[in-house]
Amino acid sequence: MSAADAERRSQGVIANEDTGESSDDQLLDEQKDEESDAGDQPDPANPPPPQEGLTDTVEKALPISSLTPRWRNWVIRGVFALMMVVGFFGLIWGGPFYLIIAVMTVQLKCFQEIISIGHKVYQSHDLPWFRTLQWYFLLCANYFFYGETITDYFGHFLQREEIFRPLIKYRRIAAFTMYVTGFCMFVLTLVKRHYLKQFTMFGWTHITLLIVVTQSHLIIQNIFEGLIWLIVPVSMVICNDVMAYIFGFFFGRTSLIKLSPKKTWEGFIGAFFSTLLFGWLLAYFMSGYEYFVCPVEFGGPDSYQTMMGCTPAPLFQLTDYTLPSWLQGILQVMGLQWKIVNIYPFQIHSIYLATFASLIGPFGGFFASGFKRAFKIKDFADVIPGHGGMVDRFDCQYLMATFVHVYHHSFIRAPNPGKIVQQVLALRPDLQLVVFNKLKQHLLDAGLVENSCSS
């Protein structure tokens, strides 16, 4: 042993006198920990054997055994796609409350599917309190995000109930305190031989919260702006997915992307034009109904019901547009003498929404495909026969929801009178009088109202 090694060894022993461990013992423990953590990593060469799922059960139950596997998958996907569309219509008929409950349900299931993959891949079932902490962090995130939205729109309504007042008034500090408590619990439950595994799952959980909770929060905000801002984008993504499958099934020859070998250029292009046409027609139909275009509001200070009626914004009123000369020339070649068209302005915006749903939205699906390939799984779950799990169905919807929210706030959004009234009603009576007097004076100065109290 060299003098330098002896010196380092003696320094190591001295450094560990207070723990009773020599440096060799400590290094040996660290090597064991590293080997233990390395053994916790997924083994892509030996994936778990496939098990019979719900799709296999449905395939055996339906009288389609004589069909080829390709057509059996077509039938199963078609049947359950139709069932989901019918269910979506039922939620629309039920109103915004049922749609919000549906969004929350999908959020919970997507969160469960993603973190379950992490538990299976990293064999983290033995981590102390970790699964409980994951759901606790989900509760904290939902309380923070949805607390802001609910307070903005329904704060006055909730403050009528004594039990809700502190939850509304101190929502931010309460949410922060809850999160910090969970963070401290995570640190206190760290186990030496599971450090790598625990921090990996901690990051996994927070990335999942960012993807799932944030996007679902934006979806609910879109609902409050009017059902049309939920129904049209969601329907566009559904249309694009269905038409891509149909065009690819019958005409697909050229592979689109390696991450998803079943996606074809023929399906991608056919779905693009189909979605543009579908979005244009759906926007025209829905723009004529107040139920779809009006923001969600409560009926009044003493009402517990929502109102879906209003004077439609100019965006949803028929307007005359003069066609550009080049388009008039094309129409003349087709025998159409159109120079002016009478359409809803929202139909023009539907072109941008449909373009995003067709060209960018599928990348949410490609991302999910890459994720599944990384961990050698076919689907996130098997809760929807022929389709997989909730994440498999809503991977593109989350990306679309973010775009709609950003697009609406950037180019469409105007101050919401109902939201402003709710914020005023949440003030003390003396402050409400201050707002009233200032607003009254402003309207008098602008000549919009007459002073009925003048002699």
Buried b (16+ CB within 10 A) or exposed e, 345-370: bbbebbeebbbbbbeebbebbbebbe
Question: Distance between CA 321 and CA 56 in Å, rounded?
Answer: 54
Q: What ranges in 225-360 are assigned the alpha helix state H? A: 228-251, 265-286, 290-293, 325-333, 345-359
Residue 436, both tokens = 């009233």
Q: Beta strands of 327-440 (E only): which ranges?
A: 340-343
Q: Residue 73 has which token pair?
A: 């998958």
- The tens place of each residue's pLDDT in the chain, 455 residues long, gives 545 454 444 444 434 434 344 444 444 444 444 444 444 444 544 555 555 566 666 666 666 767 777 777 778 888 888 899 899 999 999 988 899 999 999 999 999 999 988 888 777 656 778 888 999 999 999 999 887 777 776 666 666 667 777 777 788 899 999 999 999 999 999 988 888 888 988 999 999 999 899 989 999 989 988 999 999 999 999 999 989 989 998 898 898 888 888 889 999 999 999 999 999 999 999 999 999 999 887 655 445 455 667 888 899 999 999 988 888 888 888 888 888 999 999 999 999 999 999 999 999 989 998 898 888 888 898 888 878 889 988 888 989 999 999 999 999 876 667 667 767 877 788 888 988 888 888 888 888 887 765 54
At 260 the three-state DSSP class reads strand
Strand runs labelled E in 270-427: 297-298, 306-307, 319-322, 340-343
| Domain range summary for the chain, segments of one domain joined by + | 1-39, 60-308+346-414, 415-455
Cβ–Cβ < 8 Å for 263, 244: yes
Tokens of 204: 């996994």
Pairwise CA distance, residues 155 & 172, whole Å: 14
Q: With contact defined as beta carbons under 8 Å apart, do 205 and 127 qualify?
A: no
Question: Alpha helix (H) ranges present in 49-188?
Answer: 54-61, 69-94, 96-121, 130-159, 165-169, 171-188
d(CA 201, CA 186): 11
CA atoms within 13 A on the CB side of 183: 10
- Is residue 292 a contact partner of residue 401, using CB atoms and an 8 Å limit? no
pTM above 0.85, yes or no: no
The first and second tokens of residue 348, run together, are: 């023009």
Helix (H, G, I), strand (E, B) or coil at 353: helix
Degrees to nearest 5, angle at CA 12 with 6 and 14:
105
DSSP secondary-structure letter at 352?
H
